[in-house]
Amino acid sequence: MFALYGIGFVAACLISILLTPLVKKFAFWVGAVDAPNHRKVHTRIMPRLGGLAIFLAFVGAYFIVSPALNTFNKDAGIALLLGGFVIVLTGALDDRFQLSPKWKLLGQLIAAVIVVAFGFRIDFLNIPFGESWNLMSWISIPLTIIWIVGVTNAINLIDGLDGLSAGVSGIATATILVLALLMGGSSGMTVVLLSAILLGSIVGFLFYNFHPAKIFMGDSGALFLGFSLALFSIMGFKQATLISFLVPLLILGVPLSDTFFAILRRYVNKMPISAPDKSHLHHCLLQLGFSHRATVLIIYGISLVFGLCAVLMSQATLWVAVLIAAALFAILIVGAEAIGIISKSRRPVLSFLQKLRVKALPGKITK
């Protein structure tokens, strides 16, 4: 069985490597290109639609491996393929025609409804220091749809540097794969297979997408990766004995925290929540003087830390898990203020810590 998972990974990787150059030519042919502007980091016209190669590699490898598995939940595969098709089509149209936000949202909602229709929902929550809450359909269905749409767009928001979104998604996928192996059972093994195939598709694409990139994944790729990770995490929620309420949030820690800080930043600066800016995590690191490649590798490192903490929390006692979560949250807030991701001038937590330091060492602090 595990050999088949390896075959799925390798097949997806090879198909992605072979298809990406063809997709690159297709993107130029149909005019799905990304021109540089004041918000973009690249300085030349770049082909988009890279997500098409990732999706087709996933589909090809899926049909190579899945027929040989008896314990595989085929509903999960079909839900991902059908919903993924809608998502990739929506993203591809946006890559070419720049769809309005309402049409993009419509495509995401349709894909999310497909997942729900196949029975995949957040049907209960495992709250720390409390009992699991079984959710009624009228709560679980909209909550699931909100989660899918939210994660889908969170991955899209960090797609700002060569290899960034693909690499972070790959690390999150690998983390989910490890957790699914620990989880076991038919549901866990289904997630292992789907994660292995998706990871192979991402790795193959990264050969062309890592700095200096030859092609961008575009919305077709970022939305598909976000959609896939959202579905995998929902399947993880169903195994609440091992996957706590906080673990899926940690797996997607980088995109979700960047989205949270973007919303908070725009609120603090009295900007529309949908307004674009150049204060995302990767922008802040670039402004601090890090190179393009170094910035991407730093964010990879942060993603790895989140992933490691997610694995540790899934196996830890409740109190240890809470301590890990509290420490991560504190580091996240201090780090966010230090690099100015919320505001360049307002840093209340750092100011408070500085005041404490002054009071603790009054004789040693000089101007």
H helix or E strand, kind and range, residue 141? helix 137-157
**Predicted confidence (pLDDT) at residue 364 exceeds the cutoff of 70:** no
pLDDT, tens only, 109-158: 999 999 999 988 887 666 555 556 666 777 889 989 998 998 898 888 78
Q: Between 281 and 322, whose confidence is greater?
A: 281
State the Cα–Cα distance between residues 125 and 119, nearest whole angstrom: 16
Is residue 366 situated within a structural domain? Answer: no
Supply 133's token pair.
Answer: 């809450």
Is residue 293 situated within a structural domain? Answer: yes
In the chain, the DSSP E strands lie at: 33-34, 46-47, 124-126, 132-134
Is residue 263 situated within a structural domain? Answer: yes
Q: Is the CA virtual torsion 30, 104, 246, 276 positive or negative? A: positive
Is residue 35 situated within a structural domain? Answer: yes
Give residue 37's pLDDT band: very low, low, confident or very high (50, 70, 90): low
Nearest to 27 by CA among 95, 104, 100: 95
What is the reported pLDDT for 315? Answer: 79
pLDDT, tens only, 87-112: 999 999 999 999 998 999 999 999 99
Number of domains in the chain: 1
- In sequence order, the 6+-apart residues with CB closer than 8 A to the CB of 353 are 334
At position 345, the amino acid (one-letter code) is S
* 59-64: average pLDDT: 95
What residue numbers bound the domain in which 105 lies? 2-360
User: Of all residues in the chain, what percent carry a pLDDT higher than 70?
Assistant: 88
Predicted structure pTM score: 0.87
State the Cα–Cα distance between residues 197 and 306, nearest whole angstrom: 22
* Phi, psi dihedrals of residue 126, rounded to the nearest 5°: -100, 100
What is the reported pLDDT for 239? Answer: 44
Is residue 48 situated within a structural domain? Answer: yes
